Structure 1
Amino acid sequence: MTDSAVESEQASDGTSETETLRVGVVGGGFIGTAVGGEFVEHEDASVVALVDIDESVLEEAGAELGVDDASRYTDYEAMLDTETLDAVLIGTPHTLHYDQILAAFDQDLHVLCDKPLTTDLDDARDLVERDAERDEVLMVGYQRHFYEGFIRARDLWAQEDREPRWITAEVCQYWVDRFEGTWRQNPDLSGGGYLYDTGSHLLDCILWSTRLTPEAVSASMDFIDDEERVDGRANVTVRFTNGATASISLSGETPCMREDVRMWDEEGAVTLDSQDWEPNRYVEIDDESGEYRPKLARTDRQTKVEAFVESIQTGEEPAATALDGLRVTAVTEAAYESAKGDGSFVDIDPDDVRLE
């Protein structure tokens, strides 16, 4: 990676000029084209290379992202070795993320990786440690960090006299039938089932908004495969070091998408509701106001790519860090361990997941 992609240079007229970030897209599926398209639209970035193992996907995504035939690859390492890149977008199945991030680290590249960061807690620990020694940015693609509702909730719970004590949350969608036969229901690629897919976002928004430190997880699951590795439904209970609990219900068998989160303390609650992937509605409840429903910006919010590029240019911490990713992986892995056992609580080391 060259420094020119992340630093400003002096143009001939003496003004400051930012070099274009050269991005390689890893995976030509939904994330690769949707988030890759955000790079195409960004004035300080350009998609210059693409890799996918499926040549038909490669051709279609390459055309959509405007990548030349010569810069389309079926081998990830070949793309890294051949192309002059500053960053990669990783939009591949979950279990591939760790090795692909390491390969990008070896090339000193910035990395925007779709969720989850990894499907293995030791791998997540390793990435957090390595990332702390790097100057480049590693960001996880948890987009709810840009939704005003969750930002308001995070700001509320950051107040000295407010701390959530009781959390309930649920998410549901038409997932089981929709993704039958795809990699999302192949645990060797997905890491699990619905909890590791859409459920990852729900766990993240709770952990990120509250800043609480999880210490133990209990879960029950309904599996859709004979090996009992792919959950279609799950109920997860998280205990936190401050004595708070979160009760989380997830179903991939409903005819529509709904997401509901309630975070209570002794003074009241924050509630966030969403349907059909729209940004969440925000309601604040307390003794004086009863219900307060502020108007939220529905579309005027930062995108993943805007936040990623800004972090590179400013040197500020990215919106969703490697530690955020580790915290989600720790809770997720503990939930699967509990559900595949007798449902007893599985401990999490607080030192692993405590925010600095």
Structure 2
Amino acid sequence: MNKVRFLMIGVGGMGQAHIRNILEIEDAEIVGLVDPSEQSIERARSLSHVLQDVPSFSTIEDAFEAVQADAAVIVTPHSQHFEQGMACLQKGLHVLMEKPFVAGSENARKIIKEAEAVGRHLVVSYQRHLQGPYIYLRNLIQSGELGEIRFITAYQAQNWLESQRGTWRQNKSLSCGGQLNDSGSHLIDVVLWLTGMTPEAVLANIDNRGTEVDIDSALTIRFVGGAMGTINVVGSATVNWWEDVSIHGTKGSALYRNGKILVSKGLNGPVERVSEQDLPPSSNPDADFVDLVLGRIASPAAPAECGYQVARFTEAAWQSAETNQFVSFTV
């Protein structure tokens, strides 16, 4: 294989973001667009003249019969990810799945086992694994320069309550959860991926703000080994977007402030901003996935296991909010 042929399943907003990425990759091409919305199909076609003659389908079954593909990108409502992902794997396609992977940790385990059984790659589109500031933070933590990590706190604010009102994202049967399961899943993933620590128990306070899904979440975490952490997801904020992460170790601290990195080393060391020139280069999940399928890299930036861990953590948080007590995190 010298070029990856993609079937795009779901070509709405985020689907079009993936299409833009793939159009920039020399060793990739789009051979089919799948979406029940003709409007979304037409908007996707408008992204490039090369898509004008690409066939479109309302179902993946029709696409399977008509085109030859090597891989699929799935960007549909969360409740559909599992069945669509399984179908693609069973047809021999590699799969790049938008967050938050699939609905529930049980389904996550099943689809991971299926990918292993059929010998196909299954990857989650957690783009922070490929963004320079977050790669810098992970490298800093994993190198031991901050010492033993004792505390991590992550905060995300977004006007998700209003911006997504009336959409499938606030329809529980389609989204399988609210803000914590949507943008918030990135934050959970960041905490687990950056530190490499395993949660021991989670305590959650969650407010749906009058909807059928979670909107605002305040989580407290106990990690194996004694470290502590918090994750705060504010879906009812008035700001469009803000994200902070703070990591405190025995030898130093690192602060992510909505794209900027600040580091302090030693006791009472000065807090200094890291120059953008000192950050690793950024990429995107689509380029990483193409490299994986073509055998240029041995493992993806965000393997399916990350999706499982986030799903399990989210379930523990929801259970804690219902019982008002710490819930043990088990793998």
Q: Same fold (TM over 0.5)?
A: yes
1:193 matched to 2:178: yes
3-state SS in 2 of match to 1:180: coil
Structure-2 residue corresponding to 1:12: none
3-state SS in 1 of match to 2:89: helix
CA distance in 1, matches of 2:85, 2:105: 15
Structure-1 residue corresponding to 2:223: 240
CA distance in 2, matches of 1:69, 1:148: 36
Corresponding letter in the other structure for 1:25? M
Structure-2 residue corresponding to 1:15: none
Conservation of the 8 A alpha-carbon contact between 1:50 and 1:67: no
Shift of 1:64: 2.7
Conservation of the 8 A alpha-carbon contact between 1:36 and 1:89: no
CA distance in 2, matches of 1:47, 1:230: 34
2:287 to 278, 288, 306: 306
3-state SS in 2 of match to 1:119: coil
Shift of 1:159: 2.9
Structure-2 residue corresponding to 1:322: 304
Structure-1 residue corresponding to 2:274: 294
Structure-2 residue corresponding to 1:285: 264
Shift of 1:315: 4.8
Corresponding letter in the other structure for 2:82? Y
CA distance in 1, matches of 2:152, 2:85: 33
Conservation of the 8 A alpha-carbon contact between 2:136 and 2:280: no
Matches within 5 A, 1:1-150: 4=1, 19-64=2-47, 66-68=50-52, 71-150=55-134
Shift of 1:68: 4.6
3-state SS in 2 of match to 1:202: helix
3-state SS in 2 of match to 1:309: helix
Corresponding letter in the other structure for 1:22? R
Shift of 1:176: 0.5
Runs of 4+ residues deviating >6 angstroms: none
Change (3 A) 1:149 1:254: same
Once the two structures are superposed, residues 305-349 of structure 1 have per-residue CA deviations (whole angstroms, 9 ceiling, x without a partner) of: 11111111225111100101111111111111111x232111121
Conservation of the 8 A alpha-carbon contact between 2:4 and 2:29: yes
Once the two structures are superposed, residues 214-272 of structure 1 have per-residue CA deviations (whole angstroms, 9 ceiling, x without a partner) of: 1211111111346xx41121101122112112111111122221111111112221111
Conservation of the 8 A alpha-carbon contact between 1:50 and 1:72: yes
Return 39-48 or 54-63, whichever deviates more: 54-63
Conservation of the 8 A alpha-carbon contact between 1:23 and 1:87: yes
Corresponding letter in the other structure for 1:141? S
Structure-1 residue corresponding to 2:319: 337
Shift of 1:143: 0.7
Corresponding letter in the other structure for 1:247? T
CA distance in 2, matches of 1:69, 1:310: 26
Structure-2 residue corresponding to 1:230: 213
Shift of 1:194: 0.9
Change (3 A) 1:62 1:291: same
Conservation of the 8 A alpha-carbon contact between 1:50 and 1:62: no
Shift of 1:70: 6.7
| Number of residue pairs matched by the alignment | 325
Q: What's the RMSD between the two structures over aligned residues?
A: 1.9
Corresponding letter in the other structure for 1:42? I
Corresponding letter in the other structure for 2:256? L
- State TM-score, norm by structure 2: 0.92
Conservation of the 8 A alpha-carbon contact between 1:62 and 1:72: no
Shift of 1:115: 0.5
Conservation of the 8 A alpha-carbon contact between 1:51 and 1:76: yes
Shift of 1:130: 2.6
Shift of 1:73: 0.4
3-state SS in 2 of match to 1:254: coil
Shift of 1:132: 3.2
Structure 1 gap segments, 5+ residues each: 5-18, 275-279
Once the two structures are superposed, residues 269-312 of structure 1 have per-residue CA deviations (whole angstroms, 9 ceiling, x without a partner) of: 111111xxxxx211111226422322125895212211111111
The sequence identity of aligned pairs, in percent, is: 33
3-state SS in 2 of match to 1:192: coil
Corresponding letter in the other structure for 2:9? V
3-state SS in 2 of match to 1:255: coil
3-state SS in 2 of match to 1:64: coil
CA distance in 2, matches of 1:76, 1:163: 48
CA distance in 2, matches of 1:299, 1:50: 33
- State TM-score, norm by structure 1: 0.86
Structure 2 gap segments, 5+ residues each: none
Change (3 A) 1:46 1:124: same
Return 130-139 or 175-184, whichever deviates more: 130-139
Shift of 1:40: 1.4
Once the two structures are superposed, residues 173-199 of structure 1 have per-residue CA deviations (whole angstroms, 9 ceiling, x without a partner) of: 111111100011011111111111110
